[in-house]
Amino acid sequence: MGKSLTPDQLFTTCDPDLLPGDTTNDLDELPGLIGQERAIEAVSFGIGLRRAGYNLYALGMSGTGKHSVIADYLRREAAKQPTPDDWCYVNNFADPQRPNALRLPAGRAGPLRDAMRKLVEELTAVLPATFESEDYRARREVINEQFKQQSEQAFGDLQERAKARQIALIRTPVGLALAPLKGGEVLPPEEFEKLPEPEQKKIREAIETLQGQLEALVRRIPDWERKHREAVRALNHEVTKFAVDHLIQEVRNQYGDLPEVLAYLADVERDLVENAGDFMPQMQPGMAAVGAEGGDGPGRAFRRYQVNVLVEHEPGKGAPIYYEDRPNHQMIVGRVEHIARFGTLTTDFTLLKPGALHKANGGYLILDAVKLLGNGFAYESLKRALRAGEIRIETIEQMLSLATTISLEPEAIPLDLKIVLVGEAELYHMLHAYDPDFAELFKVPVDFEERIDRSSRNTILMARLIATSVKREKLRPFNRSGMARVIEQASRMVEDAQKLSVHMRSLNDLLVEADHHAGLAGATEVDGGHVQQAIDAQRRWLDRIPQRLREEMLRGTYRIETSGQVVGQINGLSVFGLGGRSFGRPSRISARVRVGRGELIDIEREVELGGPLHSKGVLILSGFLGGRFGLNRPLALGASLVFEQSYGGVEGDSASMAELCALMSALSDLPIRQGLAMTGSVDQSGQSQAIGGVNEKIEGFFELCAARGLTGEQGVIIPASNVKHLMLREAVVAAVRRGEFHIHAIDHVDEALEILTGEIAGSPGADGSYPPGTINAKAAKRLADFAERAAAFGRKLEPGRGA
């Protein structure tokens, strides 16, 4: 017969006297978490291997402290590494739609931006003043006067030649014209017609000759004007270069060691000289005021000389570590912003904004895997950048080749960083299975433990971990009893007396809530009582539905017997999850037998309420019965099993042992004690197997029994392999200690049957028969009767026999 467990086996205590220090104030803080050696090794490997594709995926249950462990380790490693370069975008004067990326040593980008801003501000004042100076005006006047004199002299010569031939050069509304003279006056047309024909002919020939000379002179005017403009442009270039050269030389002196910056400054100088007309005094009303573009700095004409600092770093600070909380496409690769001007959206290189890849470049980027996959094209954008080894700022339309409008195409920036994705293990395995790129880009899995062994060493480390959290959260100190109760609850969290949970979120929540209860009590230290108050409160907050179910059982709405004896009926135990909390609920299982053809009907499966694992458990019962009672004769058995008053799905095989006991009770016609409930799965040889949720299942039946009144005959039967998982509440342990409730551990179905019926199960003799009066003997006899009756019925139906 199975053994009845002692109170000490139901709950493994933590002896406060074995803990170091009197309170958490006496304990040293613990760097990192305990039991994560495998994860730390993987992180160290992934960070140290600077090759493409060796990015990391930190997998484990949410709340295990993955983020903090990763961040702490990266901070230590990043501090040892060189600070990455700064990156800027500057205007591409040859093609403004394709801005150039400029790389500078750490800390040099900001000063360059400020120097260029100062340069432009000074030029907006210096150049207009230069163009308005007396020297410039005089030299400009000389050029204008030279053009004027050249034109006047040419036309004056033509006019003299015409006058010598009695022809006048006159101005008309449509231009210059030639007309005959007489007596120094222009001859009217009617008077010209009165002249003799030879004289008219002579005048016409003179006019034609002079007209040709006039046309030749007019054709030379554009060339004169071009030379005049070139002379003015050369003057403007000279004046601009003189004004710009000494100002821009100051910037050159600061960056003489950076050829790329010097090349950029040369481009700036050439553009300033080429566009000297933009600085002419008559142009100033449109661009004179610094800040005229709504706070964008100098006027729009000068934006092309600004430096857009994308990322800058403080020298000596090591590699950057960046966590992006909103990993969408734009936040990953950067974005192009626009400004509205006269109803039209415009943009330029100064409106390029960095993404997470820019900010973490040269260091480490931490991303939440679920958020990354849930933000449209962010995951594809990240993979594209990793594969290409560069960051390219582009819109989603450009990435998908859907854009039809002209937009910026900034020069790509080389990418050199480590990505750390943080997510659940299920997501890691799904990506590994369905995304070929994932295995190539994230080759290092960092697998975090959720539980550790409850050894003496780890218990002390857990106390230090508690102290670390208490100090970090600025809580009241926990004394030994408080630490011990938290450690005991850490075992309860993983439902294993030999393990400890390292789910830091749950543990921290418990510490904070226990501190709150201590504060309400006016205590200066948190003890075990305050921790228990926090545990009870957590349970009470989500106890509404379990309490409602228990009330309906007490009212008889749900029929669950906790006293008496019934044939073929047993209390099975189920566990339900709700809002992060699990609770146990007893269920009435019944079995009926009859003559049949060896069919074991699972009613839950027949009505499609039973899941595959539950159906598997029922089919195992057929294997057990066949192996025990069907070696010498066929099983002429018809049986049915059902969860009474079950209106939802049934899944799992944890009730298969209870179903087998109900079936054996029906076969042997021996009643089962209804004050007992049981859980556990069974194999085809009748051996018990461990199940999950054992603590909640026991407590669920105990609460029902306690509400009806404990009689000392009530209890729960569990697999012996589940004893190590027991961390029951004090109320259950106290009832067992008083002898009012019992926990039985069994290894075989025969042990369970003996506890349930009070009869001997019986072992087979040499001939395979069971001792008379035993449970198995009665079941075997019942099956033999079924076989004979089935055979007799079959003979009656044979051809030639009468009814």
Angle at 495 between CA 733 and CA 450, to 5 degrees: 150
Q: Which of 151, 152, 156 is nearest to 169 (CA)?
A: 156
The residue annotated as part of the active site, out of 654, 665, 681, 688, is 654
The residue annotated as part of the active site, out of 359, 418, 697, 778, is 697
- Tokens for 312? 């800058």
The answer to whether residue 654 is catalytic is yes
Q: Which of 41, 46, 45, 34 is nearest to 366 (CA)?
A: 46
- Tokens for 290? 């610094």
Handedness of CA 473, 478, 484, 485 (dihedral sign): negative
The DSSP bridge pattern shows strands 599-602 and 637-643 to be parallel
DSSP track, 54-90: B-EEEES-TTSSHHHHHHHHHHHHHHHSPPPPEEEEE
Contact 288, 124 (CB under 8 A): yes
The answer to whether residue 202 is catalytic is no
DSSP track, 162-175: HHHTTEEEEEETTE
The DSSP bridge pattern shows strands 581-595 and 569-578 to be antiparallel
DSSP track, 623-683: HHHHHHH-SSS---EEEEEEETT--S-B--STTHHHHHHHHHHHHHT-EEETTEEE--EE-
b/e code 510-533 from CB counts within 10 Å (16+ = b): bbebbbbbbeeeebebbbbbbbbb
Neighbours of 68 (CB within 10 A): 13
Neighbours of 549 (CB within 10 A): 19
- Residue entry with tokens 């971990």: 465
d(CA 143, CA 137): 10
Residue 32: CB partners within 8 Å, gap ≥ 6?
A: 40, 69, 72, 73
- Specify the DSSP class assigned to residue 23: B
Phi/psi of residue 572, nearest 5 degrees = -90, 165
Active site residues: 654, 697
